[in-house]
Structure 1
């Protein structure tokens, strides 16, 4: 069953689309009609749809802004634009703004609309897969550097508007070169995957976990504290949780190497916002301070 949302303000055109879709053979459709963009957007909040048939001239939206507004609310739903205009420039513009196809209302029949819906769903799925490949680290299945910056910037903007903070953590795998040189790069890859899994377990409530490249990772954790005076203890609590997890891992995993991770944490305050790049630098400085302290302690113990 393919669930279709039709956003069309003209009752006659809506009735025509319904009749055309009822003529399709060997394919089940459920068609839901909304006569305004806002009403359609409210429906997608309550129900799952496979595709939307979208008119560009609505009482509450017009032209390409209609596509943009819908995509902002439902980027996962493919769009097929319906219009009464036979205008190739408008068609190209619609595709450039994210529509999968463009259909003339007067030229729509059952085979045309069926093919368009199927192609739109499949193209949207493939685009989603390609996008995921571009933002996912192949080795660890975490977000990669590109994915982190795309998602973290959106997250930062949203938290700033809401007046809410978050923690940015830079994590670095210690002695990565030593693991590679001693046990081989395949063991180095395994250590990176182990690090990724530990970060996911320790920061299971995080918004974003990413491998930035090499042996460096970043984590974005929402601030759920109501009392700002408690913020000082958060860093030590996170480090303590990490140390406990690493101790359990090194005791039970049976690896040839000893896994060690250095953390640096910095709090994003929406009342005194920093640029994302500056936030990373601050957390990175704290991570290197942590790593330097470890090296000093290890030297003292020799």
Structure 2
């Protein structure tokens, strides 16, 4: 079953599309038709669709803005543009703005439109996989450095606009070089995966957790308390949670190494905005202070 959303303001064209799809043999589809972009966007928030057939000239949107607006609201749904314009430049622009295919009304039959939808769905899936590969750390399945900056910058911009604060944590796996030199790099990789799992247990699924490279990790989490705790107190709270997890892990996991993590955090205050890079530097400095304190003990 392929679930299709048709956004088309011409009832005659919509009827023809339904008739074309009805001629398809041995393939079930569920077609829902709306005549405005806004109505289509409302519908995708309530239902799941495999592909959208999108007219570029609608009562509430026109041209490339139609594609842009839809993709902003539904980036996971592949788009096949349906238009009466037989214009190669328009077709190229549509693809450049996120459409998977471009079909001319009156020139499509059941095999053409079904092939286009199938290819659009598959290409979109492959693009999604490639994008995920580009932002996910293969070893730990956390965001990689690129993925972190992509997600964290969006999060920072949204929080700045809404006047909300958040915390950025920098965490280091202690003694990574010693683990590699003593037990081999395969054990170093295992220690990194263990560290990632500890962070996943301490922080929420909705938090942004990343491996920045080597033995360095970062986390972005919301300020749910409205900064009612001072920075030192909240940092101590997070350190305590991680130390409790580490204690249980080191007692029960049976590793030949002792897992240890140092961390520091800094608070983003929308009233005194800084860059994401500056936040990382501030948290990093606090992390090294924590690491030195552990060595002195």
Q: SS at 1:146's partner residue?
A: helix
| Deviation, structure 1 residue 204 | 2.4
Q: Distance in 1 between matches of 2:72 and 2:158?
A: 13
Q: SS at 1:25's partner residue?
A: coil
| Deviation, structure 1 residue 230 | 2.6
Structure 2 residue ranges without an equivalent (≥5): none
| Deviation, structure 1 residue 238 | 0.7
Q: Distance in 2 between matches of 1:42 and 1:151?
A: 25
- Note if 1:131 corresponds to 2:131: yes
Which residue of the partner structure matches residue 18 of structure 2? Answer: 18
Superimposed CA distance per residue, residues 87-136 of structure 1 (whole angstroms, 9 cap, x where no aligned partner): 00110111011100000011011011100000000000000001111111
Equivalent residue runs for 1:208-219 within 5 Å: 208-219=208-219
Q: Distance in 1 between matches of 2:61 and 2:34?
A: 13
Superimposed CA distance per residue, residues 220-263 of structure 1 (whole angstroms, 9 cap, x where no aligned partner): 1112114x323443221111000100111111111111110001
- Two-structure CA RMSD over aligned residues (Å): 1.0
Q: Distance in 2 between matches of 1:260 and 1:206?
A: 24
Which residue of the partner structure matches residue 230 of structure 1? Answer: 229
Q: SS at 1:220's partner residue?
A: strand
Q: Distance in 2 between matches of 1:130 and 1:65?
A: 26
8 A Cα contact 1:134 1:147, kept in partner: yes
Structure 1 residue ranges without an equivalent (≥5): 298-302
Which residue of the partner structure matches residue 172 of structure 1? Answer: 172
8 A Cα contact 1:136 1:147, kept in partner: yes
Distance 1:70-1:230 versus aligned 2 partners, 3 A rule: same
Superimposed CA distance per residue, residues 114-167 of structure 1 (whole angstroms, 9 cap, x where no aligned partner): 000000000000000011111111111111001111111111111222222111
Structure 1 runs, 4 residues or longer, greater than 3 Å off: none
8 A Cα contact 1:169 1:263, kept in partner: yes
Aligned length: 296
Superimposed CA distance per residue, residues 180-227 of structure 1 (whole angstroms, 9 cap, x where no aligned partner): 11111111011000000000001125421110000000111112114x
Which residue of the partner structure matches residue 149 of structure 1? Answer: 149
Please give the TM-score of this superposition, normalised by the length of structure 1. Answer: 0.96
Which residue of the partner structure matches residue 249 of structure 2? Answer: 249
Q: Distance in 2 between matches of 1:163 and 1:20?
A: 51
Which residue of the partner structure matches residue 271 of structure 1? Answer: 271
8 A Cα contact 1:205 1:221, kept in partner: no
Which residue of the partner structure matches residue 300 of structure 1? Answer: none
Distance 1:52-1:22 versus aligned 2 partners, 3 A rule: same
Superimposed CA distance per residue, residues 252-277 of structure 1 (whole angstroms, 9 cap, x where no aligned partner): 11111111000111111122221111
